[in-house]
Structure 1
Amino acid sequence: MNKRFKFTDKLIQSLPAHIRDSRATEAEYSDTDITGLKCLIGKTGNRRFLFRYTFHSRKYSISLGKFGDIKVSDAKRIAQKHRVTLLEGRNPKVERDEHAHMTLNDFFVNHYLPLVRKRKRTWKDDLYRWQRIIEPQLGSTLLCELRTLDVQRLHIELADTKHKYGKTYAPATCNQVLLILKAITRYALEAGVIDEDVCKPIKLYKLNNARTRFLTKFEVKRLLKECKAYSNKVIAGYIATLALTGLRCSEVSNIKVKDMDIKNRVIHIPHTKNGKPRTVYITDTLLGFIGAIPLQRNNPYLFASKVEGKPLKSVRKTFKKLLVNAKIDPSDVCLHTLRHSVASNLVSAGVSLRLVQEQLSHASIVSTQRYAKLTSESMRNTSEQLAHLFK
């Protein structure tokens, strides 16, 4: 048989085992597509891929993996990356050996993090999840030795692990951790550091994003009353702004004094989750809360923290306290519930989904439909109207 041909899975599978009485231990075949890509077949029929090349007049070879563990397309992709390295004047084997000692933490700190700092606005969330969840479990693992089962085990066990607030991690958080690992291994594969994306086969948890709890307009009124009476006007204004605008917590935290246009009654939000700027209109009620906030000379943020130059961060304890004072069960309510409540109450009041989408700055109307759950009162009225049709 011709020892040179275009490699395909079907042709490699059909190759016979090497002759048993041959002096050579393996038969070698060459791919006509990628120069240097070889397939070696032993006397027992084992098939493995190899990349042979010459660098500075010296011959080298790199094992790519066994056929079955990797496909022909994988072998070609890896061999092509090695060829690109050669064209750039670098020895693939030397670089591969250097990568063999790189831990997952080394790659995250020296390669992944510098990249996402420039491309991802929420890179600090990735860093937090890495330091708190991933690094203690997998940080010291050699990148080349990371296995699918290692990542799968972390994803599963995390769902049963309690975080600092005493509750188990939500499926959405588990998925965020997995997405970070998927991004890391995908980038490492593209960079030629590893030969296989071990995170690719792992599936994300299916999430039920339909919200079942929101504050009624009466509950919001009671909460705003408690906010108005609360002594810390910064925290009170922060919570009231969430309840009266539907802004995300991160968007409210990052509002700077210069973003406020009191004359025209607007707040400019330069960066939102979908990357687009937006404008929020200030009502009389909201202005009452904002006007009571004492500004700090050395802090540019409207909702300033006690740390110089930093915005207000966690207000969970105060929020829970105000909920209790307003006679609202805090067990199934979080700050994000206020955003959901804005959508639900607007829809219940007859505001179109299109306008609600604009208020919440959703890129897609589908996201708005998930939030805009009608109240039981609205559903009861709808049923009454339906029954009225048949009278």
Structure 2
Amino acid sequence: MPRQQRQATKYPGVFFIEGTAKDGRTERIYYIRYRQGVKMTEEKAGRQFEHDMTPARAARIRTERIEGKTPSNTARREAVQAAKDAEANKWTVSRLWEAYKAQKTVFKSLRQDQYRFDKHLSPCFGKKEPHEIAPLDVDRLRIGLTKAGSKPQTVKNILALFKRIIRFGERKGLCPGLGFQIELPKVDNFKTEFLTTEELQRLFAALDAETNIQGANILRMCLFTGMRFGEICKLTWADLDFERGFIHCRDPKEKRSKALPMNDLARELLMGHPRTAGSPYVFPGAGGKMRTTNRDTARRIRDRAGLPKEFRYHHGLRHTMASYMANSGQVDSYVGHKALGHADQKMWARYAHLQDQTLRDAVQVPADIFKDILKGKSGPDPKVVNIAKAKR
């Protein structure tokens, strides 16, 4: 493009060239030229129509530049870029959260934690760096959640997530810590659920009447093996060792693999369970992928069996299995603890000498009790016992 003709104005250091406005009209584009120290600067002041620029206004801008009252266009652009660079290098809580997620290899509760962060943490702390957060800010969040009706466990989960994110940044050398301790609410989480003989009989009848075999068998697995729902969802056919009588659980709650003994009821269920073509999972979800929910079927079975609404259909069956095992009088509490795969490393180390047959015998006890119930025999209901306390 050829150099356009500069046209002077009556104001020193102010000139213009002619250009085309957005609406097609010819307009003047004003420039100013001035010296600061030994440096000569030339820059655009503005367009006639778009910026409502006039020679007098351009002259005033030139005077402000010379007097140092306003920065030059170049200085402003450099300042904007510096601000962007500084912002990009800030380890805000939101940026720490993204980095925290990216380095996780075992993340069982990503969906829940993402919701907690987006709903509660991001609005309060997302744009802040950890050193900008005061204890009062965390107190406001805690009080606000409580006043909004959040349960103590919900408040604890949100604050615990916030604590993990900050610790991650501090541990990786990305940012300093908060400089104060986050106090988590104390929650009494000990809850043991079990079903009576009559309730189990109704449950077995409801399971037999259920047309969703996959969903019904998941509940049976919770009861027969004491496995957690997440462990059952991850279970593949390759994890089943029918020869040795063990089920290999991958990525369980304690973030390490383990082998659970297989009793007669579990073996019979698994050997008769239908396989889904093209899927490696024993209890696959939609499209043969790993299952993430069994809520609808479980609730339908729970309601058909007349069980309490507050009964946690998956974990409650695990507790039921543990209660029958602990109260049978035939299983040592340490053996039962290991047979159920509880994540107590000291117990595991202390009783690492337990033989496979000992563990198989332990889980066979409740299986025999359930067999009697299935046959119509009734026996005494188990008492609720804390296995951890039973050893004392």
TM-score (norm 1): 0.59
CA distance in 1, matches of 2:137, 2:314: 34
CA distance in 1, matches of 2:219, 2:153: 24
Q: Larger relative contact order (C-alpha < 8 A, sep ≥ 6)?
A: 2
Q: In the alignment, residue 112 of structure 1 is paired with which amino acid?
A: Y
* Equivalent residues of 2:96, 2:166 under 8 A apart: no
* Equivalent residues of 1:301, 1:311 under 8 A apart: yes
User: 1:341 corresponds to which residue?
Assistant: 320
> Is 1:128 aligned to residue 114 of structure 2?
yes
- Measured at CA, do residues 325 and 367 of structure 1 come closer, stay the same or move farther in structure 2, by a change above 3 Å? farther
Map 1:20-35 onto structure 2 (within 5 A): none
Residue deviations 1:253-307, cap 9 Å, x none? 100111123344432213322233322333333344334533222221111112x
> Is 1:230 aligned to residue 210 of structure 2?
yes
**Alignment match of 1:153 (pick from 115, 118, 140):** 140
Q: In the alignment, residue 345 of structure 1 is paired with which amino acid?
A: Y
> Is 1:315 aligned to residue 294 of structure 2?
yes
SS in 2 for 1:331: coil
Instruction: Quote how far apart the aligned CAs of 1:193 are.
Output: 4.9
Instruction: Quote how far apart the aligned CAs of 1:240 are.
Output: 0.7
**Alignment match of 1:331 (pick from 294, 300, 310):** 310
**Alignment match of 1:295 (pick from 264, 275, 286):** 275
**CA RMSD for the aligned pairs?**
3.5
Instruction: Quote how far apart the aligned CAs of 1:377 are.
Output: 6.5
- Measured at CA, do residues 132 and 193 of structure 1 come closer, stay the same or move farther in structure 2, by a change above 3 Å? closer
> Is 1:243 aligned to residue 217 of structure 2?
no
SS in 2 for 1:330: coil
Gaps of 5+ in 1: 1-92, 162-167, 369-374, 380-391
- Comparing 136-145 and 249-258, the one that deviates more: 136-145
Q: In the alignment, residue 152 of structure 1 is paired with which amino acid?
A: D
Q: In the alignment, residue 208 of structure 1 is paired with which amino acid?
A: D
Instruction: Quote how far apart the aligned CAs of 1:252 are.
Output: 0.9
**Alignment match of 2:253 (pick from 268, 273, 288):** 273
> Is 1:138 aligned to residue 124 of structure 2?
yes
Instruction: Quote how far apart the aligned CAs of 1:176 are.
Output: 2.3
* Identity within the alignment, %: 23
CA distance in 1, matches of 2:346, 2:324: 18
CA distance in 2, matches of 1:243, 1:159: 36
CA distance in 2, matches of 1:334, 1:158: 28
CA distance in 1, matches of 2:328, 2:134: 53
- Measured at CA, do residues 146 and 272 of structure 1 come closer, stay the same or move farther in structure 2, by a change above 3 Å? same
SS in 1 for 2:259: strand
Q: In the alignment, residue 96 of structure 2 is paired with which amino acid?
A: F
Instruction: Quote how far apart the aligned CAs of 1:132 are.
Output: 4.8
SS in 1 for 2:310: helix
Instruction: Quote how far apart the aligned CAs of 1:189 are.
Output: 3.6
* Equivalent residues of 1:220, 1:243 under 8 A apart: no
Number of equivalences: 270
* Equivalent residues of 1:217, 1:345 under 8 A apart: no
Gaps of 5+ in 2: 1-81, 349-379, 385-392
* Equivalent residues of 1:254, 1:311 under 8 A apart: yes
Instruction: Quote how far apart the aligned CAs of 1:185 are.
Output: 1.8
* Equivalent residues of 1:354, 1:365 under 8 A apart: no
- Measured at CA, do residues 207 and 127 of structure 1 come closer, stay the same or move farther in structure 2, by a change above 3 Å? closer
Residue deviations 1:71-108, cap 9 Å, x none? xxxxxxxxxxxxxxxxxxxxxx9999457755421221
Q: In the alignment, residue 110 of structure 2 is paired with which amino acid?
A: K
Instruction: Quote how far apart the aligned CAs of 1:169 are.
Output: 4.7
Instruction: Quote how far apart the aligned CAs of 1:122 are.
Output: 3.3
User: 1:172 corresponds to which residue?
Assistant: 153
User: 1:181 corresponds to which residue?
Assistant: 162
Q: In the alignment, residue 236 of structure 2 is paired with which amino acid?
A: K
User: 1:257 corresponds to which residue?
Assistant: 237
* Equivalent residues of 1:260, 1:268 under 8 A apart: yes
Larger Rg: 2
User: 1:114 corresponds to which residue?
Assistant: 102
User: 1:214 corresponds to which residue?
Assistant: 194
- Measured at CA, do residues 269 and 103 of structure 1 come closer, stay the same or move farther in structure 2, by a change above 3 Å? same
- Measured at CA, do residues 112 and 121 of structure 1 come closer, stay the same or move farther in structure 2, by a change above 3 Å? closer
Instruction: Quote how far apart the aligned CAs of 1:357 are.
Output: 0.3
CA distance in 2, matches of 1:349, 1:342: 11
Instruction: Quote how far apart the aligned CAs of 1:230 are.
Output: 0.9
Q: In the alignment, residue 254 of structure 1 is paired with which amino acid?
A: K
* Equivalent residues of 2:323, 2:383 under 8 A apart: no
User: 1:68 corresponds to which residue?
Assistant: none
